[in-house]
Amino acid sequence: MSGGDPHALESRLISAGVERLALLGKHAETLMAGYACDEVPLEGLSTTALNRLLAARILWRPDEQSGVKLAPKVRELIAEMLADETRRHVNADVAETLELVRTLVQSYREARDAGEYWRQEQQLLRLRQEVDDLNGRFADAIDSLWRRLNSDFGFVSRLGDKIRENERAQKQIVRLLDGLELIDFNELIELVGSDGALRKLLVSGLQQQLTHHYTSLREVQRRLIELMARFRQQQSRSRLVAGMVGFLREHPNFVPGNYAMRSEVPELINRAAPIMPAGAVALDHDADARLAAELLHRLPRPASRPQPVTAAGAAELPEDTQVAARQQALKEDVEGFYLAVVDHDGEGLSALEYLQGSDLEWDEEIWLFQVIAEYQGLPRSEQRAFRLRQVETQASPLNHLYLIHDVQLQLALPA
Amino acid sequence: MIEQGPLLERLLAGDFICAVSDEAAFRHLQDETIREQIDDYLRPLNRRLATNTDGTVYFLSWLRLDEAAREQLSRQLGDTVGSLMPMLEWLQLVQEALGRDGLAAPGDVLKPADFSSRCEDHQGLRERLERLASDPFFGSQSDQLDAQLKQVFKRLKEHGYLQQPHADRQYYVVTGKIDYLIDLVRFIRDEENLPIEDQAPTQQSLL
């Protein structure tokens, strides 16, 4: 062994490491500013501090003219810590690790044969760290892939970018799988020989972990391909719709063929006419008759008939004078609407549009109700001067309840 | 068969059944035995179950086509073609207004409130919505943004493209009928040989 006491060397490394790691915390904000943009801002950084950061290879200067940048490893470290998928790298670099493992196993063997236990222990520790690193790189890569997958590549916004990111992720998987292929367990078995500790580390342990990575990678790959198919389908739909809209704009008179008259009617076009199932009470069936009678009793009683039409029906005298005043105001506003119709030269006016276009704040339903009531309250002769049309739809195809959405009022022009 | 009663009723009424409009019924329809039972039941009514290209919606079609059925189909086709432009423009408007990646797809949630806030900030969208709402297919006569949106959503619901899970809450879910519409567009393009490309021009063949 060369160069002094190995223990002293180690403690020197540790203290230097602690010092340099502390630099990261001390200049965290400046470093993150450098992560976010191209260069590290030098304001607020003393020359000494800058030199320390450069010496620790946290920062580097690509050439004399350019500014100071984050070292690639530091950028990668931050991306890993933040799980920042836009900048995270996936790189398992198996070949180099294998090379290193071979070297370390050789040194380990030599140390063992020479009986240098401390050195033997050190080599084993480094081997263990290398294997852990290799595992960690696969685990990180798989984690990064899953995150991108589960967020639907949410870190990019455009579909085209998502498709490209997905392609990139699939290529990464191929590279990772190629990396796994490089690990030849027959070679490793031969390499470790009969050494129990090495066998456990490099054969059984590693094999188990790599099998796990392999399964995960295959699963991510399958899901990425599925997601890609969905992206492509989305893309193709958008293009199809955009294309058809463009075509129809250019050819406003385009009419497709009448596919319904072909001898073979296409499946998509063949949509049968709706049937409304109807039912009635079976009066010849005793049990039904009883049920019908019960239902009949439960029907709500018809409201009492309105007063004869001398006065506007809905504006009955309420007890409360405030309510009466509001009722009167509503009636006057509705009369305003009728006057607007008269002024509108025989064109129809929508009661709702009139309400929305004015400053009036009546509830739409109350407004329509009053417009109808006002009409019904008019003397017959005046009623004939107006035409009232209800805009209504059937509440459900299964019954005959009609809902009034709006009322159109128009002056009835003399024929 | 009795347990399929409500499903049959909906199918006979002309509804499209998809995973959004009726999840349980749609699951039943995945079962071939149930589909056969339903077809048996429908035979005397001259109807059978049909589905779109990807099997994401079910509806009823004629079993045998007579003159009257063909008449009805051509009228229906005419209506659908007439609604094509407003429907497709609406799909594009949704995509742009909400800044989405793709077209509205079954299961997507749409809220009129989101549109009104986007349209208020964006005059171009506002004008497009106004034009669209006044198209006879949507038929809004109002010049108020909220009333126009209300009308557009109401019509889409009536036509089965949207489902409103709670009558008193203003959010809607896109149904599988959108898939049917897209399939129809693709069909028309293919049948009429329209020069419309739906694949990306440069594609690396990864799949």
The verdict on B120 and B57 lying in the same domain is no
Q: What is the pLDDT of residue A327?
A: 85
d(CA A140, CA A216): 12
Whether residue B183 and residue A225 make contact (CB cut-off 8 A), yes or no, is no
Q: Whole-angstrom Cα distance, residue B55 to residue B57?
A: 6
CB A66 within 8 A of CB A72: no
A224 contact residues in B (CB cutoff 8 A): none
The CA-atom distances, in angstroms, between A354 and each of A53, A339, A360, A406, A409 are: 73, 12, 9, 11, 11
A95 C-beta neighbours (distance < 10 Å), count? 12
Chains A & B: contacts with CB separation below 8 Å: 156
**pLDDT (0 to 100) of residue A2:** 47
Q: What is the tally of structural domains in chain B?
A: 2
Which of B53, B62, B60, B57 has its CA nearest to residue B17? B57
Torsion of CA A67, A73, A74, A75, to 10 degrees: 70
In Å, how far is B16's CA from the nearest CA of chain A? 10
Contacts of A246 in chain B (CB under 8 A): 196
Is residue B198 situated within a structural domain? no
Nearest-CB residue to A236 (from B62, B194, B198) = B198
- For residue range B121-176, what is the model confidence (pLDDT) as tens digits? 888 889 899 999 989 899 888 888 888 899 999 999 999 999 999 988 889 999 99
Nearest chain B residue to A355 by CA distance is B142
CATH number at B180 reads: 1.10.10
Q: Which domain covers residue B56, as residue numbers?
A: 2-62
Question: Nearest CA of chain A to the CA of B81: how many Å?
Answer: 8
The pLDDT value recorded for residue B160 is 92
Contact B191 A256 (CB under 8 A): yes
Indicate whether B120 belongs to any domain: yes
**Is residue B141 in some structural domain?**
yes
Query: Using CA atoms, how far apart are residues B198 and A243, in angstroms rounded to an integer?
Result: 8
pLDDT, block means (10 residues), chain A with 415 residues: 64 89 90 85 87 89 82 85 73 82 91 90 90 88 88 80 90 89 89 88 89 93 91 89 92 86 86 80 74 81 60 53 82 87 80 84 87 85 82 76 84 67
Query: Mutate which of A269, A359, A393, A398 to test chain B, going by most B C-beta atoms within 10 A?
Result: A269
Identify whether B184 is part of a domain: yes
Predicted pLDDT at A305: 59
Task: Tell me the pTM.
Answer: 0.62
Report yes or no on B207 lying in a domain.
no
pLDDT at residue B120 in the model: 84
Whether the per-residue pLDDT at B90 is higher than 90: the answer is yes
- Are B172 and B92 members of one domain? yes
In a 3-state reduction of DSSP, which class is residue A393? strand
Note whether B182 and B93 are same-domain residues: yes
Q: How far apart are the first and last CA of chain A?
A: 120
Q: Are B145 and B85 within one domain?
A: yes
Same-domain status, B145 and B185: yes
Same domain flag for B95 and B24: no
With contacts defined as CB-CB under 8 Å, which chain B residues touch A243? 189, 194, 196-198
CA angle B167, B172, B175 (to 5 degrees): 115
Write out residues 39-78 of B within 8 Å (CB-CB) of A. Answer: 45-47, 50, 52-53, 59-62, 65, 69-70, 72-74, 76-77
Two tokens, residue A183: 């690990």
* Mean pLDDT in residue range B45-70: 91
The answer to whether B155 touches B147, Cβ cutoff 8 Å, is no
The residue to which tokens 């193709």 are assigned: A236
Check A353 against B143: CB less than 8 A apart.
Answer: yes
- Residue B200, domain member (yes or no): no
Is B139 an 8 Å CB contact of chain A? no
B57 and B94 fall within a common domain: no
Establish if B125 belongs to a structural domain: yes
pLDDT for B140: 85
Radius of gyration of chain A measured on its C-alpha atoms? 42
Closest Cα in chain A, distance from residue B44 (Å)? 13
B17 and B98 housed in the same domain: no
B177 and B135 share a domain? yes
Cross-strand pairs, A410:
A387
Q: Are residues B84 and B136 in the same domain?
A: yes
Do residues B102 and B157 both lie within one domain? yes
Distance of CA A399 to the CA centre of its chain: 41
Residues B27 and B125 in one domain: no
In a domain, B35, yes or no: yes
